[in-house]
Amino acid sequence: MRTKNFIIAIVLGGALAAGIFVAASINKPAELQTAFVVPSPAELPAFALQDQYGEPVTADTFRGQWDLVFFGFTNCPDICPTTLQILANAKLELQNIGAGAIPRVVFISVDPERDTPEILGRYVDYFGAANLGVTGTLPELVKLTTALGIFFEKAPTDDGNYGVDHSAAVLVINPEGQFSALFSAPHTIANYVHDLPIIMDVN
């Protein structure tokens, strides 16, 4: 009899502990895995670039939707396609889980000398028809990269050509057109699927 009561006590105690644990998990705010949220979202500077259709791109272009912004160049066979493919797959996953908002992917060229709107267009379209490609003049590009803390620099190759070293982070721009969060490389689909809904709910 005593043993039976003891077992009942253990079972009840276990159930109570489990209940407390579940309640605690539900009330606990979701935590970001890898993204860094900017404490006070930053306005974009004034700049004038253009998209793959030759249309102007300014700070206003980034208002009205969530944007994932990646800087790169089209003569980049590994990091840039890999990152754009991860962002495309993350968008698909977000659609599959019914996320409230699906961000737009924006690829900004740090090689405006070679990346004409036409070349850039074919490149970004390959990773998703809704993608925005941005290029323009070097001084206008530098206005934007400087304000966002994005580094880029030409790296000459043996054959007299060049690559471009560039920051590998993906920036999140909120619908008010403010830089509000950042994903550092290396990027994974899971990190975006986990963190983006949290970021997009907070703002």
Q: Per CB under 8 A, does 131 bind other proteins?
A: no
The phi and psi torsions of 40 (rounded to 5 degrees) equal -125, 110
State in angstroms the smallest separation of the CB of 9 from other proteins: 54
Whether the Cβ atoms of residue 133 and residue 116 lie closer than 8 Å to each other: no
Find how far residue 7's CA is from the centre of its chain: 52
**Is the CB of 128 or the CB of 136 nearer to other proteins?**
128
Contact flag: residue 199 with other proteins (CB under 8 A): no
Contact flag: residue 54 with other proteins (CB under 8 A): no
Strands 67-72 and 104-109, bridge-based pairing: parallel
CB 195 within 8 A of CB 30: no
Q: Using CB under 8 A, which of 49, 57, 108, 168 touches other proteins?
A: 168
Beta strands 170-173 and 152-156 are unpaired
Residue 184 as a binder of other proteins (CB under 8 A): the answer is yes
Q: How far apart are CA 30 and CA 154, in angstroms?
A: 40
* Range in contact with other proteins (rule: CB under 8 A) among 28-36, 38-46, 159-167, 195-203: 159-167
Length of the chain: 203
- Applying CB under 8 A, the span of 26-34, 36-44, 51-59, 151-159 interacting with other proteins comes to 151-159
Q: What are phi and psi of 23, to 5 degrees?
A: -60, -40
Q: Which of 33, 58, 65, 85 binds other proteins (CB under 8 A)?
A: 85
Which of 33, 65, 75, 203 is in the footprint of other proteins by CB under 8 A? 75
- φ/ψ of 144, rounded to 5, equals -75, -45
Q: Which of 34, 42, 63, 126 binds other proteins (CB under 8 A)?
A: 126
Q: Rule CB under 8 A: which residues touch other proteins?
A: 72, 74-79, 81-82, 85, 88, 118-119, 122-123, 125-128, 151, 155, 157-158, 163, 165-169, 184-186
